[in-house]
Amino acid sequence: MDRETLSIVITGHVDHGKSTLIGRLLLETGSLPKEKLVEIKKISDKLGKETEIAYLIDQFKEERIKDMTIDTTQIFFKTRKRDYIIIDCPGHLELIKNMITGATLAETAILIIDCTEGIMEQTRRHAYIISMIGIRNVIVVINKMDLVNYNQKKFIEIETAINAFLKTLDMEPCFILPISAKDGVNITKKCSKLNWYNGPSFLKALDMLKPSREKANRSLRLPVQDVYDIEKKRVLVGKILSGSLVKGKEILVLPGFAKAKIADIKIFGKKPKKVSNRENIGVTLDRDIDVKRGFVIVDKESANRLEDRFQCNIFWMSKKPLEINKPFSIRCATQEVNCIAEKIERKINSSTLEIVYDNPDKVGLNESAKVSFKTERPIVIEEFSRLKELGRFVIEGDSTLLGAGIIT
């Protein structure tokens, strides 16, 4: 009875209809409690508006008065095929941090485009962020087709343009389809108004997606999350990111290169013989070595995975810019280390994707860049495409998030 789940983030420019699409999906799949419908009708009446299905998602009073999504939210619904977790995001540039927060929780992305406006600034920026954080499954929906009388020419025009743009990001959408979220056209079923369209409805397209699963990597990576003293033993806890562990296995603890054997594997209420990736476990070692949070347990063949210089793509989210040779810290899994940018190789505008030439020593708010980082001490990293959790990091200063990075 274990059903598959798929998490989907809905992205796109301001007012292109993200929240309305989700509201419509919930309505047509019968996923709503009756009282919810009565409630939004009442609220819409009070605000003197037509019944606004976006209010199912936009729950803050401020969101309803201003008719805009402020923060990311999640909604659940199911089809016969699987369970869905839908993540809604704000479309405003000022709220990009909330959009990224939502997007990092998703496996799949929907990019919505208003056919009367076409590709806009946040359409491009959201597409860029989706590609940067490694979401490969993308569906483009071209919305508000009712406003152009379901004109096929208009659809093809936008389809061609978005395909060309996504190609520059090395992205190929799984589907591009016309809809009207407001009128419920081509959401769960086709409609005679779209007799020129032969593809699947939006819901059918969702069900046709194949979840992208990371290839299992065999080398052991276990970043130490904490050390507990339990019954006079030091128990190292953490989440296995790749590989597996058995009792007696010889391991290395990086960055110190200390060798040890696994004395015992601990999961409460069980006596596991073997544990593998994604499990949160505890281990004890056969000898007393210095281990603390941020150290990484690896198999003895992986001694060469420590780096103190690497190249990465970063997205900057702070008003205070990144500057060359000015210290900040990064966190990658449980590792935390001081760091500087030695070189900014290339800086781009995250919407137009044009190279930015001014202030070559700084990366400013909402800019993206390819940079060379140097850390104060070596850490265990991987290319993002090989192992996500050791290939991504956050950049911080004074406990505040400044940006995000992907190791290339």
Partner 1 sequence: MNYLSELENKTIYIIREAYSRFRNISLLWSIGKDSTAMLWIARKAFFGKIPFPVTHIDTNYKFKEIYEFRDKYAKIWGLNLLISRNSTAIESGMGPKTNKFECCNALKTIALKDTIKQYNLKALLLAIRRDEHGIRAKERYFSPRDLNFKWDYQNQPAELWNLYKAGLNDEDHLRVHPMLHWREIDIWRYIEREKIPVTPLYFAKNNLRYRSIGCETCCMPVKSNANTIKKIVRELETTKTAERSGRAQDKEDTYTMQKLRSLGYM
Query: At closest approach, how far in Å is the CB of 178 from partner 1?
Result: 29
Query: At closest approach, how far in Å is the CB of 186 from partner 1?
Result: 25
CB 23 within 8 A of CB 114: no
Q: Would you state the torsion angle of the CA atoms of residues 210, 212, 215, 221, taken in this order, to the nearest 10 degrees?
A: -150
Q: Which is nearer to partner 1, 225 or 349 (CB)?
A: 225
CA dist 371 and 363 (Å) reads: 10
Concatenated DSSP letters of 324-391: TT--EEEEETTEEEEEEEEEEEEEEETTT-PBP-SSTTEE-TTEEEEEEEEEEEEEE---TTT-GGGT
Chain positions contacting partner 1, by CB under 8 A: 2-3, 5, 30, 32-36, 39, 42-43, 56-57, 59-62, 70-76, 97-98, 100-101, 104-105, 225-226, 228, 230, 235, 237, 239, 266-269, 278-280, 282, 293, 317, 331, 334, 336, 389, 392-394, 396, 398-401, 404
Q: Which is nearer to partner 1, 158 or 381 (CB)?
A: 381
Q: Which is nearer to partner 1, 59 or 325 (CB)?
A: 59
Query: At closest approach, how far in Å is the CB of 329 from partner 1?
Result: 9
CB 315 within 8 A of CB 404: yes
Q: Which is nearer to partner 1, 18 or 144 (CB)?
A: 18
Q: Which is nearer to partner 1, 174 or 401 (CB)?
A: 401
CA dist 353 and 112 (Å) reads: 19
Query: At closest approach, how far in Å is the CB of 59 from partner 1?
Result: 3
Query: At closest approach, how far in Å is the CB of 181 from partner 1?
Result: 19
Query: At closest approach, how far in Å is the CB of 320 from partner 1?
Result: 14
CA dist 214 and 220 (Å) reads: 15
Q: Which is nearer to partner 1, 174 or 365 (CB)?
A: 365
Collect all residues with Cβ–Cβ distance below 8 Å to 247 and sequence separation of at least 6. 262, 263, 264, 265, 273
